[in-house]
Amino acid sequence: MIAANGAERTRLLSRLESGRFAVIKGMMYDEWVLNRLPNAQFEYYRTAFDCISALKNDNVDAFPYDDSMLKYIIGNASESFAFIYDEGFGVADYGFAVNTNRPDLKKAIDEAIAEIRAEGSYHDMVTRWFPRTGATGIMPQLKLTGKNGKLKFGTSTIDRPFTFIVGDGVITGFDIELATRICAKLETELEISAITFSELIPAVVSEEVDMIGAALAITEERCRSVLFSEPYFQAKVALLVKSDFASI
């Protein structure tokens, strides 16, 4: 269910004016919610799974998140959920980030993404990882030469389709494929490090890794600490609620 008409959306949002919201620690969804609901209260959790568990157990009233990930959650959950769109929540531009001392790397990443778009690979990725129906895509086999060394990529397993774990702990997803394609353009190997989301920016600031990404929203605050690539994806912010909340 999507609360699409204006009257229904207004009614549900009015019930959430002082509501409790689950937010993944380190993400910016609390700021987006406050833009629309200034009296909102927040509980912070480590993962999306923890946020959804809190919602199921009525510890919170709603879970603000990327709409493409919410669609996957709703489509594959045994429980019944609804989600609410509102223009007041805005949109999130995602980018890869590097250390402020590496404008050369930022430039190379931007050029690589532009090439990936121009050759049609980006469109193919979106089609596979964000299907209208059915399961998300499968990571293709991409050859990396390592001619120019290694790029250390820090990421966090957020949720399908951006970054998630399959098989024997292998991290895959849209962001992983895009990072791999960037490395193919740069002729480097890709070394992936799994990092807690809230520690991604400290990891690139300390030069533990060269680049970070995991549906990482470009914000003014974050731009004070790191250099972001040009946006590679724009997501809508939506609220996940239990269907019985939406039907009352």
Per-residue pLDDT for 126 more than 60?
yes
Could you give the CA distance from residue 123 to residue 177 in angstroms, rounded to a whole number? 13
Is the model more confident about 87 or about 58? Answer: 58
How confident is the model over 213-235, as a mean pLDDT?
95
pLDDT in tens, 6-33: 677 888 889 999 999 999 988 889 988 9
Per-residue pLDDT for 248 more than 70?
no
Check if 2-90+237-247 and 96-230 are the same fold. yes
3-state secondary structure of 127: helix
Comparing 48-52, 124-128, 222-226, which segment has the lowest mean pLDDT?
48-52
Is the model more confident about 205 or about 12? Answer: 205
Strands 20-24 and 41-45: parallel
Per-residue pLDDT for 70 more than 90?
no
Could you give the CA distance from residue 90 to residue 173 in angstroms, rounded to a whole number? 24
Burial of 199 (0-12, 13-18, 19+ CB in 10 A): middle
How far is C-alpha 14 from the geometric centre of its chain's CA atoms? 27
Per-residue pLDDT for 236 more than 90?
no
Q: What is the pLDDT of residue 76?
A: 64
Q: How confident is the model at residue 34 (pLDDT cuts 50, 70, 90)?
A: very high
Inter-residue contact 185 to 146 (CB < 8 Å): no
Task: State the amino acid at position 102 in one-letter form.
Answer: R
Residues 92-105 as b or e (16 or more Cβ within 10 Å = b): bbbbbbbbeebeeb
Question: What count of other Cβ atoms lies within 10 Å of the Cβ of residue 114?
Answer: 13
pTM of the predicted protein model: 0.84
Could you give the CA distance from residue 71 to residue 237 in angstroms, rounded to a whole number? 12
Inter-residue contact 172 to 164 (CB < 8 Å): yes
How confident is the model over 199-221, as a mean pLDDT?
96
Q: What is the pLDDT of residue 5?
A: 54
CA angle 194, 221, 125 (to 5 degrees): 50
Per-residue pLDDT for 101 more than 90?
yes
Per-residue pLDDT for 79 more than 90?
no
Comparing 8-22, 72-86, 88-102, 206-220, which segment has the lowest mean pLDDT?
72-86
Here the tokens at position 239 are: 């609220």
- Residue from 147, 168, 152, 167 nearest 211 by CA: 152
Q: What is the pLDDT of residue 81?
A: 84
Q: How confident is the model at residue 4 (pLDDT cuts 50, 70, 90)?
A: very low
Inter-residue contact 106 to 229 (CB < 8 Å): yes
Is the model more confident about 10 or about 125? Answer: 125
Tell the CATH topology of 2-90+237-247: D-Maltodextrin-Binding Protein; domain 2 (3.40.190)
CATH code assigned to 96-230: 3.40.190.10
Per-residue pLDDT for 193 more than 70?
yes
Q: Where are the domains of the chain?
A: 2-90+237-247, 96-230
